[in-house]
Amino acid sequence: EENGHLSKRLKSQVDEEDAEDQTKKLPKRKIVLLMAYSGKGYHGMQRNVGSSQFKTIEDDLVSALVQSGCIPENHGEDMKKMSFQRCARTDKGVSAAGQIVSLKVRLIDDILEKINNHLPSHIRILGLKRVTGGFNSKNKCDARTYSYMLPTFAFAHKDHDVQEETYRLNKETLEKVNKLLACYKGTHNFHNFTSQKGPKDPSAKRYIMEMYCGEPFVRESIEFAVIKVKGQSFMMHQIRKMIGLVIAIVKGYAAESIIERSWGEEKVDVPKAPGLGLVLERVHFEKYNRRFGNDGLHEPLEWKEEEEKIAVFKEQYIYPTIINTEREEKSMMNWLSTLSIHDFNSSAVEMQANNKTSKNSDFEGSDGCGDDSE
Protein backbone atom coordinates (compact mmCIF):
# COMPACT_ATOMS: atom_id res chain seq x y z
CA GLU A 1 0.00 0.00 0.00
CA GLU A 2 2.77 2.37 0.97
CA ASN A 3 4.57 1.61 -2.29
CA GLY A 4 1.33 2.32 -4.17
CA HIS A 5 0.99 5.75 -2.49
CA LEU A 6 4.63 6.49 -3.17
CA SER A 7 4.39 5.63 -6.87
CA LYS A 8 1.22 7.78 -7.20
CA ARG A 9 3.02 10.66 -5.54
CA LEU A 10 6.05 10.26 -7.78
CA LYS A 11 3.83 10.07 -10.88
CA SER A 12 2.00 13.32 -9.99
CA GLN A 13 5.38 14.98 -9.33
CA VAL A 14 6.65 13.85 -12.74
CA ASP A 15 3.42 15.08 -14.40
CA GLU A 16 3.82 18.48 -12.75
CA GLU A 17 7.44 18.72 -13.87
CA ASP A 18 6.44 17.70 -17.42
CA ALA A 19 3.76 20.39 -17.49
CA GLU A 20 6.29 22.93 -16.21
CA ASP A 21 8.80 21.92 -18.90
CA GLN A 22 6.10 22.25 -21.57
CA THR A 23 5.26 25.75 -20.26
CA LYS A 24 8.92 26.76 -20.40
CA LYS A 25 9.06 25.68 -24.06
CA LEU A 26 6.11 27.92 -25.00
CA PRO A 27 7.29 30.89 -27.09
CA LYS A 28 6.81 34.35 -25.54
CA ARG A 29 4.34 36.64 -27.31
CA LYS A 30 3.63 40.37 -26.99
CA ILE A 31 0.10 40.92 -25.70
CA VAL A 32 -2.04 43.56 -24.01
CA LEU A 33 -4.19 42.88 -20.97
CA LEU A 34 -7.37 44.84 -20.22
CA MET A 35 -7.47 45.48 -16.46
CA ALA A 36 -10.08 46.76 -14.03
CA TYR A 37 -9.40 47.47 -10.36
CA SER A 38 -10.57 49.30 -7.29
CA GLY A 39 -7.61 51.42 -6.16
CA LYS A 40 -8.61 51.89 -2.52
CA GLY A 41 -5.82 50.80 -0.19
CA TYR A 42 -3.17 50.87 -2.95
CA HIS A 43 -0.44 53.44 -3.55
CA GLY A 44 -1.29 53.65 -7.23
CA MET A 45 -0.63 51.40 -10.21
CA GLN A 46 3.13 51.59 -10.69
CA ARG A 47 5.35 49.15 -8.85
CA ASN A 48 8.15 50.49 -6.64
CA VAL A 49 10.68 47.66 -6.88
CA GLY A 50 12.56 47.29 -3.63
CA SER A 51 9.86 49.07 -1.59
CA SER A 52 7.38 46.71 0.04
CA GLN A 53 6.13 49.50 2.30
CA PHE A 54 3.63 50.87 -0.24
CA LYS A 55 1.53 48.22 -1.96
CA THR A 56 0.65 48.86 -5.62
CA ILE A 57 -1.66 47.21 -8.16
CA GLU A 58 1.36 45.99 -10.14
CA ASP A 59 2.71 44.14 -7.07
CA ASP A 60 -0.40 41.94 -7.11
CA LEU A 61 -0.43 41.65 -10.92
CA VAL A 62 3.21 40.56 -11.23
CA SER A 63 2.77 38.03 -8.43
CA ALA A 64 -0.25 36.54 -10.28
CA LEU A 65 1.67 36.41 -13.59
CA VAL A 66 4.51 34.46 -11.94
CA GLN A 67 2.22 32.10 -9.99
CA SER A 68 0.11 31.31 -13.07
CA GLY A 69 3.22 30.40 -15.08
CA CYS A 70 2.89 33.20 -17.67
CA ILE A 71 6.29 34.65 -16.85
CA PRO A 72 9.42 33.27 -15.16
CA GLU A 73 10.16 34.50 -11.64
CA ASN A 74 13.17 36.63 -12.67
CA HIS A 75 10.88 38.61 -15.06
CA GLY A 76 8.81 39.55 -12.04
CA GLU A 77 11.91 40.94 -10.36
CA ASP A 78 13.10 42.81 -13.47
CA MET A 79 10.03 43.93 -15.42
CA LYS A 80 12.11 45.15 -18.38
CA LYS A 81 12.75 41.49 -19.23
CA MET A 82 9.10 41.08 -20.21
CA SER A 83 8.92 44.55 -21.91
CA PHE A 84 6.26 45.59 -19.38
CA GLN A 85 4.54 48.95 -19.85
CA ARG A 86 1.39 50.38 -18.32
CA CYS A 87 -0.75 52.89 -20.24
CA ALA A 88 -1.33 55.27 -17.33
CA ARG A 89 0.14 55.49 -13.83
CA THR A 90 -3.02 55.77 -11.79
CA ASP A 91 -2.33 57.38 -8.44
CA LYS A 92 -2.98 56.45 -4.82
CA GLY A 93 -6.61 55.37 -4.36
CA VAL A 94 -7.54 55.89 -8.03
CA SER A 95 -9.51 53.08 -9.71
CA ALA A 96 -9.58 51.87 -13.33
CA ALA A 97 -12.23 50.26 -15.50
CA GLY A 98 -10.10 50.09 -18.65
CA GLN A 99 -6.37 50.14 -17.86
CA ILE A 100 -4.11 48.53 -20.48
CA VAL A 101 -0.70 46.95 -19.90
CA SER A 102 1.56 45.51 -22.61
CA LEU A 103 4.06 42.72 -21.95
CA LYS A 104 5.58 39.49 -23.27
CA VAL A 105 4.13 36.28 -21.81
CA ARG A 106 3.95 32.55 -22.44
CA LEU A 107 0.49 31.99 -23.91
CA ILE A 108 -0.58 29.16 -21.59
CA ASP A 109 -4.03 27.50 -21.80
CA ASP A 110 -6.89 29.30 -19.99
CA ILE A 111 -4.49 32.19 -19.38
CA LEU A 112 -7.06 34.76 -18.13
CA GLU A 113 -8.68 32.31 -15.75
CA LYS A 114 -5.30 31.26 -14.35
CA ILE A 115 -4.10 34.85 -13.80
CA ASN A 116 -7.41 35.86 -12.18
CA ASN A 117 -7.24 32.84 -9.84
CA HIS A 118 -4.14 34.42 -8.28
CA LEU A 119 -5.58 37.96 -8.04
CA PRO A 120 -7.83 39.46 -5.35
CA SER A 121 -11.45 39.91 -6.51
CA HIS A 122 -11.09 43.72 -6.73
CA ILE A 123 -8.46 43.33 -9.50
CA ARG A 124 -9.58 41.56 -12.69
CA ILE A 125 -8.09 40.87 -16.10
CA LEU A 126 -11.08 41.23 -18.43
CA GLY A 127 -9.48 40.77 -21.84
CA LEU A 128 -6.34 39.90 -23.81
CA LYS A 129 -5.20 40.65 -27.37
CA ARG A 130 -2.06 39.90 -29.36
CA VAL A 131 -0.18 42.99 -30.55
CA THR A 132 2.85 43.79 -32.72
CA GLY A 133 6.28 42.95 -31.29
CA GLY A 134 7.30 46.58 -30.82
CA PHE A 135 4.01 47.66 -29.23
CA ASN A 136 4.28 49.88 -26.14
CA SER A 137 0.99 50.67 -24.40
CA LYS A 138 2.14 54.08 -23.14
CA ASN A 139 3.72 55.39 -26.36
CA LYS A 140 1.05 54.04 -28.73
CA CYS A 141 -1.86 55.47 -26.73
CA ASP A 142 -3.30 58.58 -28.40
CA ALA A 143 -5.95 59.51 -25.81
CA ARG A 144 -7.24 58.64 -22.36
CA THR A 145 -10.74 58.99 -20.92
CA TYR A 146 -11.22 59.51 -17.18
CA SER A 147 -14.41 59.86 -15.18
CA TYR A 148 -14.90 61.63 -11.86
CA MET A 149 -17.87 60.64 -9.70
CA LEU A 150 -18.87 63.27 -7.14
CA PRO A 151 -21.83 64.05 -4.86
CA THR A 152 -23.83 66.87 -6.47
CA PHE A 153 -23.86 68.96 -3.25
CA ALA A 154 -20.37 69.97 -4.45
CA PHE A 155 -22.23 72.31 -6.85
CA ALA A 156 -24.55 73.83 -4.21
CA HIS A 157 -24.10 77.64 -4.08
CA LYS A 158 -22.37 78.61 -0.82
CA ASP A 159 -24.83 81.43 -0.01
CA HIS A 160 -28.31 80.17 -0.87
CA ASP A 161 -28.37 76.37 -1.28
CA VAL A 162 -28.58 73.45 1.13
CA GLN A 163 -24.99 72.23 1.60
CA GLU A 164 -25.83 68.71 2.81
CA GLU A 165 -26.68 65.37 1.23
CA THR A 166 -30.33 66.40 0.75
CA TYR A 167 -29.21 68.76 -2.06
CA ARG A 168 -30.48 67.97 -5.58
CA LEU A 169 -28.90 69.43 -8.74
CA ASN A 170 -31.29 71.48 -10.87
CA LYS A 171 -31.22 71.80 -14.67
CA GLU A 172 -29.87 75.38 -14.67
CA THR A 173 -26.90 74.52 -12.43
CA LEU A 174 -26.06 71.42 -14.53
CA GLU A 175 -26.11 73.62 -17.65
CA LYS A 176 -23.75 76.09 -15.96
CA VAL A 177 -21.39 73.26 -14.93
CA ASN A 178 -21.32 71.97 -18.52
CA LYS A 179 -20.75 75.44 -19.96
CA LEU A 180 -17.70 75.84 -17.69
CA LEU A 181 -16.35 72.32 -18.37
CA ALA A 182 -16.64 72.99 -22.13
CA CYS A 183 -14.22 75.95 -21.71
CA TYR A 184 -11.41 73.43 -21.18
CA LYS A 185 -11.85 71.92 -24.67
CA GLY A 186 -9.01 72.55 -27.11
CA THR A 187 -5.34 73.24 -26.44
CA HIS A 188 -4.46 75.38 -23.42
CA ASN A 189 -1.51 76.07 -21.16
CA PHE A 190 -2.35 74.09 -18.01
CA HIS A 191 0.73 75.11 -15.96
CA ASN A 192 -1.59 76.31 -13.15
CA PHE A 193 -3.20 72.87 -12.97
CA THR A 194 -0.07 70.98 -11.87
CA SER A 195 2.73 71.61 -9.42
CA GLN A 196 5.43 70.53 -11.85
CA LYS A 197 5.44 72.97 -14.76
CA GLY A 198 6.32 76.60 -15.29
CA PRO A 199 4.28 78.90 -17.59
CA LYS A 200 6.92 78.76 -20.35
CA ASP A 201 7.26 74.95 -20.32
CA PRO A 202 5.94 73.75 -23.71
CA SER A 203 4.84 70.43 -22.17
CA ALA A 204 2.28 72.29 -20.03
CA LYS A 205 0.17 72.72 -23.19
CA ARG A 206 -2.43 69.94 -23.30
CA TYR A 207 -5.24 69.07 -25.73
CA ILE A 208 -8.67 68.26 -24.26
CA MET A 209 -11.12 66.61 -26.67
CA GLU A 210 -14.25 66.60 -24.51
CA MET A 211 -15.40 67.30 -20.97
CA TYR A 212 -18.96 67.19 -19.64
CA CYS A 213 -21.09 66.23 -16.62
CA GLY A 214 -23.84 63.63 -17.06
CA GLU A 215 -27.34 63.51 -15.56
CA PRO A 216 -27.41 63.07 -11.76
CA PHE A 217 -28.58 59.85 -10.06
CA VAL A 218 -29.28 58.87 -6.44
CA ARG A 219 -27.36 56.15 -4.59
CA GLU A 220 -27.86 55.43 -0.88
CA SER A 221 -29.88 58.68 -0.54
CA ILE A 222 -26.99 60.84 -1.89
CA GLU A 223 -27.23 62.34 -5.38
CA PHE A 224 -24.12 61.80 -7.54
CA ALA A 225 -23.04 62.86 -11.03
CA VAL A 226 -20.20 61.69 -13.26
CA ILE A 227 -17.88 64.06 -15.14
CA LYS A 228 -16.13 62.58 -18.20
CA VAL A 229 -12.94 64.01 -19.70
CA LYS A 230 -11.05 62.80 -22.77
CA GLY A 231 -7.61 64.19 -23.55
CA GLN A 232 -4.35 63.23 -25.23
CA SER A 233 -2.53 63.03 -21.89
CA PHE A 234 -2.73 64.64 -18.47
CA MET A 235 -0.25 66.00 -15.95
CA MET A 236 -0.01 65.42 -12.23
CA HIS A 237 -3.24 66.62 -10.51
CA GLN A 238 -4.54 68.20 -13.75
CA ILE A 239 -8.02 66.64 -13.83
CA ARG A 240 -8.65 67.15 -10.12
CA LYS A 241 -7.66 70.82 -10.42
CA MET A 242 -9.81 71.33 -13.55
CA ILE A 243 -12.80 70.00 -11.60
CA GLY A 244 -11.80 71.84 -8.41
CA LEU A 245 -11.80 75.19 -10.20
CA VAL A 246 -15.24 74.61 -11.76
CA ILE A 247 -16.65 73.68 -8.33
CA ALA A 248 -15.16 76.90 -6.85
CA ILE A 249 -16.86 78.97 -9.57
CA VAL A 250 -20.27 77.25 -9.33
CA LYS A 251 -20.26 77.54 -5.52
CA GLY A 252 -19.62 81.28 -5.82
CA TYR A 253 -16.04 81.48 -4.52
CA ALA A 254 -14.41 82.50 -7.82
CA ALA A 255 -15.40 84.50 -10.91
CA GLU A 256 -15.87 82.71 -14.27
CA SER A 257 -13.04 84.78 -15.72
CA ILE A 258 -10.52 82.83 -13.60
CA ILE A 259 -10.46 79.99 -16.16
CA GLU A 260 -9.15 82.29 -18.93
CA ARG A 261 -6.79 83.89 -16.42
CA SER A 262 -5.36 80.52 -15.40
CA TRP A 263 -4.04 79.90 -18.94
CA GLY A 264 -1.98 83.09 -18.82
CA GLU A 265 1.50 83.35 -17.33
CA GLU A 266 0.49 84.57 -13.86
CA LYS A 267 0.21 82.06 -11.03
CA VAL A 268 -3.40 81.33 -10.10
CA ASP A 269 -4.56 79.55 -6.94
CA VAL A 270 -6.37 76.47 -8.32
CA PRO A 271 -7.94 74.13 -5.72
CA LYS A 272 -7.49 70.37 -6.18
CA ALA A 273 -10.63 68.22 -5.78
CA PRO A 274 -10.27 64.97 -3.74
CA GLY A 275 -8.75 61.88 -5.38
CA LEU A 276 -11.74 59.72 -4.48
CA GLY A 277 -14.05 59.46 -7.48
CA LEU A 278 -11.38 59.53 -10.18
CA VAL A 279 -11.47 56.49 -12.50
CA LEU A 280 -9.44 55.66 -15.62
CA GLU A 281 -12.33 54.69 -17.91
CA ARG A 282 -10.57 53.72 -21.11
CA VAL A 283 -7.51 54.30 -23.25
CA HIS A 284 -7.59 54.88 -27.00
CA PHE A 285 -5.31 53.50 -29.72
CA GLU A 286 -6.86 55.04 -32.82
CA LYS A 287 -3.64 55.37 -34.90
CA TYR A 288 -2.52 51.83 -34.04
CA ASN A 289 -5.98 50.46 -34.93
CA ARG A 290 -5.92 52.19 -38.33
CA ARG A 291 -2.52 50.76 -39.14
CA PHE A 292 -2.66 47.25 -37.67
CA GLY A 293 -6.28 46.61 -36.61
CA ASN A 294 -7.31 45.09 -39.93
CA ASP A 295 -4.00 43.70 -41.24
CA GLY A 296 -5.27 40.12 -40.92
CA LEU A 297 -2.77 39.33 -38.15
CA HIS A 298 -3.84 41.64 -35.32
CA GLU A 299 -7.15 42.72 -33.85
CA PRO A 300 -8.05 46.35 -33.26
CA LEU A 301 -7.60 47.36 -29.61
CA GLU A 302 -11.29 47.84 -28.93
CA TRP A 303 -13.21 46.05 -26.21
CA LYS A 304 -16.87 45.92 -27.30
CA GLU A 305 -17.23 42.30 -26.17
CA GLU A 306 -15.84 43.15 -22.74
CA GLU A 307 -18.10 46.18 -22.16
CA GLU A 308 -20.65 44.21 -20.12
CA LYS A 309 -17.90 42.76 -17.87
CA ILE A 310 -16.51 46.29 -17.36
CA ALA A 311 -19.97 47.62 -16.40
CA VAL A 312 -20.52 44.74 -13.93
CA PHE A 313 -17.09 45.32 -12.34
CA LYS A 314 -17.81 49.04 -11.89
CA GLU A 315 -21.16 48.30 -10.21
CA GLN A 316 -19.61 45.64 -7.97
CA TYR A 317 -16.33 47.20 -6.93
CA ILE A 318 -15.72 50.79 -8.10
CA TYR A 319 -18.99 52.66 -7.44
CA PRO A 320 -19.70 51.06 -4.01
CA THR A 321 -16.14 51.94 -2.89
CA ILE A 322 -16.59 55.59 -3.93
CA ILE A 323 -20.07 55.84 -2.35
CA ASN A 324 -19.18 54.08 0.93
CA THR A 325 -15.90 55.97 1.34
CA GLU A 326 -17.70 59.29 0.71
CA ARG A 327 -20.32 58.38 3.34
CA GLU A 328 -17.74 57.28 5.92
CA GLU A 329 -14.88 59.72 5.34
CA LYS A 330 -16.81 62.67 3.85
CA SER A 331 -13.84 63.56 1.65
CA MET A 332 -15.83 65.94 -0.60
CA MET A 333 -17.65 67.63 2.29
CA ASN A 334 -14.36 68.18 4.16
CA TRP A 335 -12.61 69.48 1.04
CA LEU A 336 -15.44 71.93 0.26
CA SER A 337 -14.95 73.53 3.66
CA THR A 338 -11.38 74.49 2.62
CA LEU A 339 -12.47 76.49 -0.47
CA SER A 340 -13.00 79.67 1.55
CA ILE A 341 -9.29 79.63 2.49
CA HIS A 342 -8.19 79.94 -1.16
CA ASP A 343 -7.42 83.39 -2.49
CA PHE A 344 -8.68 83.41 -6.07
CA ASN A 345 -7.32 86.93 -6.68
CA SER A 346 -3.89 86.51 -5.10
CA SER A 347 -0.73 87.75 -6.74
CA ALA A 348 2.13 85.57 -7.98
CA VAL A 349 4.32 86.46 -4.97
CA GLU A 350 1.65 85.40 -2.48
CA MET A 351 1.07 82.22 -4.47
CA GLN A 352 4.75 81.24 -4.34
CA ALA A 353 4.71 81.55 -0.56
CA ASN A 354 1.53 79.43 -0.38
CA ASN A 355 3.01 76.87 -2.77
CA LYS A 356 6.04 76.30 -0.55
CA THR A 357 3.72 75.49 2.33
CA SER A 358 1.41 73.23 0.31
CA LYS A 359 4.27 71.34 -1.39
CA ASN A 360 5.48 70.19 2.00
CA SER A 361 2.10 68.72 2.82
CA ASP A 362 1.15 67.12 -0.53
CA PHE A 363 2.02 63.46 -0.79
CA GLU A 364 -0.58 62.41 -3.27
CA GLY A 365 1.41 62.22 -6.50
CA SER A 366 -0.19 62.19 -9.92
CA ASP A 367 -3.80 62.12 -10.97
CA GLY A 368 -3.65 58.73 -12.21
CA CYS A 369 -3.05 60.74 -15.20
CA GLY A 370 0.68 61.01 -14.88
CA ASP A 371 0.91 59.54 -18.36
CA ASP A 372 3.94 61.60 -19.20
CA SER A 373 4.47 63.89 -16.26
CA GLU A 374 8.01 62.73 -15.54
Interval 291-295 mean pLDDT = 87
Residues in the chain, overall count: 374
pLDDT given for residue 11 in this prediction: 63
pLDDT tens-digit series, residues 10-36: 666 655 555 555 556 678 899 999 999
For the annotated binding site for substrate, the residues are 146
Q: Where residue 2 falls among pLDDT bands split at 50, 70, 90?
A: low
Does 91 participate in catalysis according to the annotation? Answer: yes
Q: Determine whether 81 is exposed, middle or buried from the number of CB atoms within 10 Å of its CB (0-12, 13-18, 19+).
A: middle
Taking the C-alpha atoms of residue 221 and residue 167, their distance in angstroms, rounded to an integer, is 10
All structural domains of the chain: 28-140 (3.30.70.580), 143-287+296-348 (3.30.70.660)
pLDDT given for residue 1 in this prediction: 56
Catalytic residue chosen out of the listed positions 91, 269, 367, 371: 91
Q: Where residue 349 falls among pLDDT bands split at 50, 70, 90?
A: very low
Interval 288-309 mean pLDDT = 91
pLDDT tens-digit series, residues 51-61: 667 899 999 99
* Statement: residue 310 has pLDDT above 60: yes
pLDDT tens-digit series, residues 155-193: 999 998 999 999 999 999 999 999 999 999 999 999 999
pLDDT tens-digit series, residues 34-86: 999 999 999 999 988 766 678 999 999 999 999 999 999 888 788 888 999 99
What is the residue type of 95?
S
Interval 325-342 mean pLDDT = 95
For the annotated binding site, the residues are 146
Taking the C-alpha atoms of residue 24 and residue 31, their distance in angstroms, rounded to an integer, is 18
Lowest-confidence region among 52-66, 233-247, 252-266: 52-66
Taking the C-alpha atoms of residue 276 and residue 280, their distance in angstroms, rounded to an integer, is 12
pLDDT given for residue 298 in this prediction: 87
149 beta partners? 226
Give the percent of the chain with pLDDT over 90: 71
